[in-house]
Chain A
């Protein structure tokens, strides 16, 4: 679809468009909607979900076309349906070459709208949320249930911290919090039917514009408010009841409606012009957490797991005998931490004593709290001690140091040092938020994201291992796209155009752009930052879950601005011996802008070269708009990126389930598809087909018979049905294929592999280089660092070599980390999702768990210049000496094996890690089936490392 000839066309056009986009953006006088969310210290965290209604409708249209049968499978997961379809829509639009300006126009319109809304209500926006963000979403979730004929319940989200100030100041909480206007009896004319008693009934006489009540559209003028959260209210009690709402929460209002009940739906429809066939998918917990809402409930659900973060002072002021004066900071303040908080004396004593006794700093302790084993990590900075207690079942001791190092480094990047993070009072609420996110991610990652295939993994081991790597997940793009992306980024970074150039205003620019990096759906696709800076930024993004967030469709706009303290830059400064007098002159700022799937992180410097920054500057509109324009421009390339993401796995992957013969047969039977053989080869091919057409998920035995081995055991009964089934299978594959390339490509097989080389469109230039490389005596040596594509090719090669030597493709999973650049490659989520299977996810989990151990062995044997850079401590001594390679053989059995007569079939596979320091530092982790003869394993390593033995 995208070959070079066509590609070059849009690109040149892009540049022209680019300027026009910029000028439109820059010269429009629109005030950005995030402006009022900027905090006093200049920081901004603004997240807006995209307005979905349109998308939902489109998705429905697509679905009803029947053009994507594969969505049927996910029909119970609304979010996924939307995402899938929407992505397609994007691709379609792109392919049709829809004028980019249309999108821009939409964006601008949205801006206008929100602006207008703000203007109409005449409210100051700082106090009410911009119309397009959370509240809007929350409103859509309001559900209406008819209990009796005239009683309805309406759920609304209220936030007592963001009261709507009313023009006349009256109305109390009822008006400012809920948005209901009730005129007291005495101020009205007589004749209204009111109940007596101590208080009057609460009839709704009016609705405050843009308030929670009005947004849902279910509360009507004339309704009578009966109860709030089942507490009966009257005019007397309402203010008291509402004042008891401590923080942002959802309250349930019970209303008596004067309208007949059967008119309710009509009324709702009337109130809300948008037809709403179904409530839009709920905002995920993660997003709500990022918005700073609802932490209480999440916090409560991990209350049974002891965990704590404390910042303690080692030097006690003996004169002031204050209780708990040594605790400078503590999170959470709940039962979960009370026991650990109670024994803080132990931590302080041990920290002090062990240094004297053994001469080293204490790094960890293991404690038993009832049934829970808790590992405590220590981090001493000056005379302060950071203590982090985590349940052992979530974080093994082996990895505690890495986790702790990550937290410390993130805090250092965000605040400069632990002291400045913890010791300022006004940081407390931000730190609470920080640690809330931290513990949630570690202890119950699954709660945060909605379960849906293809999303970023949420298993603890997975995230522990992958996020613990001093590297960012990399997606290698086809060279043309990569080049364009790089060009666009470079253009931006050079900042010599428009208002960014110094000539424009005849003054020094505010910030110098040090570099930027670009993520697509959470994958790094371009990086123009040094490794340490990249890791700093990435840690921040990881901590705030920005990467998985971007992989969901619904990020409308993300804007983060804050001052950061990149670690190695401050260290350089320190080592240069620059005397500190007051604040350092060089300050760094981080700007993250996300639009839909794209996210760009920009590191900027305010120093001598640019004008020195004073105070706490907020985000500068010009820079923000420039980044936005860059992203809009890059959105044109999204199609190519998406296709790369959906492309078949570059090194062929197999699914573990295919190697458990009887199990897979049984699995198929379970689903009522009576088919055939158990040969892994055959299933593998089928699975690869299935990759592009998930409708085939149940029938992976359908495709196989071309390369089928004689399988006398099973083949007899169903040989008759093979033919038609095969036809059916291929047909559905072709119909459902997302991209026309993926179907033939994914069906790689020994014979067809060579043929399919030519059509590896999505692998970019892969096919071009392949043939000459094959003739090279040492084709896999990689002299330069920027050869990741080639690396993938060599792996590809490796699999093809293996295939030609008659061995089945047995690679299950891999992770390759390149330490110099700080990036790693692993199969994309799509690739993994394509393999599905019941054992495979287990295998991947196991793989990651094992990698924790392997990597710990590597790290312990490394000199302390270690992975997380300076934040990583010297490792403990390692008696076995430096480890170069480490492998573990696992055996797995299908779960719930019920057949008593036969022993459960087993499958064995290796997880092997190897660390290389030469020619470039790399770590490589693979997982493959045991059937590979040992020599090819060696070969595989040599090939994938480009190592000449």
Chain B
């Protein structure tokens, strides 16, 4: 009924079960199925049993979650029916679907504000309003864009510019000039620099704002003025998100109040602050999907892909090496991204745990209850000693995960790297990335 491996998001009102929207999969699930999926959860809830997820033998999965007692979100992932070669997919993983639901909810708040969602007077109107979120939700669902891990990790994807100080200064200056404290520079969809306040936003918000910027910049307009609610910071009062395209692939955004007007900012301020930096921006763009400046020396043949997470700052850098020549049949670049995500899920759910930044806004008890309900978190709790590192040897590559006080590293290497050398490669890679750039 559901296509193989496709994911669908169902949104209903929590108390009455009226469907608000469905996204994903070209063919919608019939209404009766949607009704039953919601019904089982509601029935259980009435009996004091909260259903959180179900799984089928061929990788299908359903995850339920109610937000603020008002909106029910259900993610359904179709399994792979075609027997034989069953290939797993990121979208079948519980962690992915859980984060997806959270992102979708945050995205609804971002666009409509929380009040509109929780105090529903007119369902029909809400349905209409929700259409404005579809673009962003679809983007979250696709998750096809390479180089973006934030939706999964809830850590902002970063790009380390070759000359950070210059860029940082420009961002700070520009943000101040528009009477704001929140500003950032987005290059290739990753944050190249941002003001301190921007980083103080909840990680989910930062991730979501990056996603929004990507969507807006993909629309091709040179600038826009977009009202946003911050799901955690200000879920009821809207701010303006101003976005200006500096160069194709490089955008600057600020969150600001009523002043200044988009036109004024664009005509005066952007030019004033950014035209001298054109060369620097080009350098940033040249870093490209590698996300790391050329000064960072990686042991090139040994590293297929890497993801470095700064645990305190909730930022991450990730890259996949352009497929090289030498090693026999390395996984393709998209597959590398896929493997990197899968390995992140594997290591994070089983060993490293997922520390979420304390979330304001949502009722703490609800959040807490939910973090417990994640089946994966439970397994981590069962260890009497703390896991620090882990590795996997599969048929395609070798994976190494490493956790320090401040960082997490997830590394893919080709099979040619001997297993005993993995640890060295990993520690060297981590220090290479962090030492030079201060990431």
Contacts of B419 in A (CB 8 A): 885, 934, 938
Q: Which residue of chain B lies nearest to A879 when distances are taken between CB atoms in the complex?
A: B88
With both chains docked as a complex, state the minimum distance between the C-beta of B38 and any C-beta of chain A, in angstroms.
Answer: 11
B119 at the interface (CB under 8 A from A): no
Q: Which residue of chain A lies nearest to B346 when distances are taken between CB atoms in the complex?
A: A880
Contact residue among A350, A397, A881, A889 (Cβ-Cβ distance under 8 Å from B390): A889
Interface positions, chain B 311-362, Cβ under 8 Å from A, are 338-339, 342-343, 346, 350-351
Q: A339-B49, A357-B78 are in contact. Are A880 and B56 (CB under 8 A)?
A: no
Contacts of A889 in B (CB 8 A): 387-390
In whole angstroms, what is the CA distance A215 to B137 when docked? 77
Contacts of B424 in A (CB 8 A): 934
In whole angstroms, what is the CA distance A343 to B41 when docked? 10
In whole angstroms, what is the CA distance A461 to B81 when docked? 33
A483 at the interface (CB under 8 A from B): no
Which of B11-19, B159-167, B373-381 forms contacts with chain A?
A: B373-381
In whole angstroms, what is the CA distance A340 to B48 when docked? 9
In whole angstroms, what is the CA distance A370 to B48 when docked? 7
Contact, CB under 8 Å: B421 / A934: yes
Contact, CB under 8 Å: B384 / A879: no
Contact, CB under 8 Å: B382 / A461: yes
Contact, CB under 8 Å: A846 / B384: yes
Chain A interface SS verdict (over half): mixed
Contacts of A880 in B (CB 8 A): 88, 339, 342-343, 346, 392, 394, 399
Contact, CB under 8 Å: A882 / B1: no
Q: A879-B93, A886-B392, A888-B351 are in contact. Are A874 and B54 (CB under 8 A)?
A: no
Contact residue among A367, A373, A842, A908 (Cβ-Cβ distance under 8 Å from B378): A373
Contacts of B60 in A (CB 8 A): 354, 357-360
Contact, CB under 8 Å: A876 / B393: no
Contacts of A849 in B (CB 8 A): 382-384
In whole angstroms, what is the CA distance A357 to B33 when docked? 8
Contact, CB under 8 Å: A358 / B56: yes
In the complex, per-residue mask of B62-99: 1 if CB is within 8 Å of any chain A CB, else 0: 10000000000000111111000011111011000000
Contacts of B390 in A (CB 8 A): 886-889
Contact, CB under 8 Å: A360 / B59: yes
With both chains docked as a complex, state the minimum distance between the C-beta of A373 and any C-beta of chain B, in angstroms.
Answer: 6
Contact, CB under 8 Å: B384 / A358: no
Contact, CB under 8 Å: B372 / A373: yes
Please indicate which of the listed interface residues A366, A367, A857, A886 has the most CB atoms of chain B within 10 Å of its own CB. Answer: A366
Please indicate which of the listed interface residues A368, A398, A880, A886 has the most CB atoms of chain B within 10 Å of its own CB. Answer: A880
Contact residue among A396, A845, A874 (Cβ-Cβ distance under 8 Å from B58): A874
Contacts of B369 in A (CB 8 A): 368
In whole angstroms, what is the CA distance A366 to B86 when docked? 24
In whole angstroms, what is the CA distance A935 to B423 when docked? 12
Contacts of A37 in B (CB 8 A): none
Contact, CB under 8 Å: B383 / A359: no
Contact, CB under 8 Å: B338 / A879: yes
With both chains docked as a complex, state the minimum distance between the C-beta of A271 and any C-beta of chain B, in angstroms.
Answer: 51
In the complex, per-residue mask of A335-372: 1 if CB is within 8 Å of any chain B CB, else 0: 00001101101100110011111111111111111110
Q: A879-B90, A886-B390, A890-B388 are in contact. Are A398 and B379 (CB under 8 A)?
A: yes
A107 at the interface (CB under 8 A from B): no
Contact residue among A369, A375, A935 (Cβ-Cβ distance under 8 Å from B420): A935
B274 at the interface (CB under 8 A from A): no
Interface positions, chain B 363-413, Cβ under 8 Å from A, are 369, 372-373, 375-376, 378-379, 382-396, 399
Please indicate which of the listed interface residues A339, A356, A938 has the most CB atoms of chain B within 10 Å of its own CB. Answer: A356
With both chains docked as a complex, state the minimum distance between the C-beta of A390 and any C-beta of chain B, in angstroms.
Answer: 12
In whole angstroms, what is the CA distance A358 to B39 when docked? 18
Contact, CB under 8 Å: A345 / B342: no
In whole angstroms, what is the CA distance A887 to B37 when docked? 39
B279 at the interface (CB under 8 A from A): no
Contact residue among A339, A843, A877, A937 (Cβ-Cβ distance under 8 Å from B59): A877
Contacts of A853 in B (CB 8 A): 350-351, 379
Q: Which residue of chain B lies nearest to A656 when distances are taken between CB atoms in the complex?
A: B385
Contact residue among B47, B57, B88, B392 (Cβ-Cβ distance under 8 Å from A342): B47
In whole angstroms, what is the CA distance A361 to B54 when docked? 11
In the complex, per-residue mask of A382-411: 1 if CB is within 8 Å of any chain B CB, else 0: 000000000011001110000000000000
Contacts of B342 in A (CB 8 A): 879-880
Interface positions, chain A 872-914, Cβ under 8 Å from B, are 873-892, 908
In whole angstroms, what is the CA distance A397 to B54 when docked? 11
In whole angstroms, what is the CA distance A603 to B391 when docked? 43
With both chains docked as a complex, state the minimum distance between the C-beta of A343 and any C-beta of chain B, in angstroms.
Answer: 5
With both chains docked as a complex, state the minimum distance between the C-beta of A131 and any C-beta of chain B, in angstroms.
Answer: 47
Please indicate which of the listed interface residues A340, A346, A885, A908 has the most CB atoms of chain B within 10 Å of its own CB. Answer: A346
Contacts of A365 in B (CB 8 A): 51, 53-55
With both chains docked as a complex, state the minimum distance between the C-beta of A261 and any C-beta of chain B, in angstroms.
Answer: 53
Contact residue among B58, B62, B399 (Cβ-Cβ distance under 8 Å from A876): B58
Contacts of B62 in A (CB 8 A): 354, 357-358
In the complex, per-residue mask of A269-284: 1 if CB is within 8 Å of any chain B CB, else 0: 0000000000000000
In whole angstroms, what is the CA distance A664 to B293 when docked? 48
Contact, CB under 8 Å: A340 / B51: no
B52 at the interface (CB under 8 A from A): yes
Contact, CB under 8 Å: A874 / B51: no
Contact, CB under 8 Å: A349 / B351: no
In whole angstroms, what is the CA distance A106 to B60 when docked? 63
Please indicate which of the listed interface residues B36, B342, B384, B393 has the most CB atoms of chain A within 10 Å of its own CB. Answer: B384
Contacts of A935 in B (CB 8 A): 420
In the complex, per-residue mask of B257-276: 1 if CB is within 8 Å of any chain A CB, else 0: 00000000000000000000
Q: A357-B76, A359-B58, A877-B59 are in contact. Are A886 and B386 (CB under 8 A)?
A: no
Q: Which residue of chain B lies nearest to A875 when distances are taken between CB atoms in the complex?
A: B57
With both chains docked as a complex, state the minimum distance between the C-beta of A612 and any C-beta of chain B, in angstroms.
Answer: 39
Contacts of B350 in A (CB 8 A): 853
B29 at the interface (CB under 8 A from A): yes
B215 at the interface (CB under 8 A from A): no
Q: A368-B373, A879-B89, A880-B343 are in contact. Are A361 and B53 (CB under 8 A)?
A: no
Interface positions, chain A 840-880, Cβ under 8 Å from B, are 842-843, 845-846, 849-850, 853, 857, 861, 873-880
Contacts of A877 in B (CB 8 A): 58-59, 79-80, 86-89, 92
Contacts of A366 in B (CB 8 A): 51-54, 373, 375
In whole angstroms, what is the CA distance A853 to B351 when docked? 9
Q: A350-B40, A366-B52, A934-B420 are in contact. Are A878 and B88 (CB under 8 A)?
A: yes
With both chains docked as a complex, state the minimum distance between the C-beta of A721 and any C-beta of chain B, in angstroms.
Answer: 34
Q: A360-B79, A878-B88, A880-B88 are in contact. Are A888 and B399 (CB under 8 A)?
A: no
With both chains docked as a complex, state the minimum distance between the C-beta of A796 and any C-beta of chain B, in angstroms.
Answer: 23
In whole angstroms, what is the CA distance A396 to B383 when docked? 12
B130 at the interface (CB under 8 A from A): no
Please indicate which of the listed interface residues A355, A365, A861 has the most CB atoms of chain B within 10 Å of its own CB. Answer: A365
In whole angstroms, what is the CA distance A345 to B89 when docked? 30
Contact, CB under 8 Å: A364 / B392: no
Contacts of A892 in B (CB 8 A): 384-386
B298 at the interface (CB under 8 A from A): no
Contacts of A340 in B (CB 8 A): 49
Contacts of B396 in A (CB 8 A): 881
With both chains docked as a complex, state the minimum distance between the C-beta of A613 and any C-beta of chain B, in angstroms.
Answer: 37
Contact, CB under 8 Å: B39 / A891: no
Contacts of B421 in A (CB 8 A): 934
A sample of 15 cross-chain residue pairs with beta-carbon separation below 8 angstroms, ordered by A number, consists of: A339-B48, A359-B58, A360-B79, A366-B54, A366-B375, A396-B378, A396-B382, A846-B383, A877-B58, A878-B88, A880-B342, A881-B396, A886-B393, A888-B387, A892-B384
Q: Which 5 A-B pairs have the closest CB atoms?
A: A358-B60, A879-B88, A934-B420, A360-B56, A360-B58
Q: Kindly list 8 other residue pairs between chains A and B, CB separation below 8 angstroms, not including A392-B375, A876-B55.
A: A346-B49, A359-B56, A373-B373, A393-B382, A397-B379, A876-B58, A877-B88, A883-B392
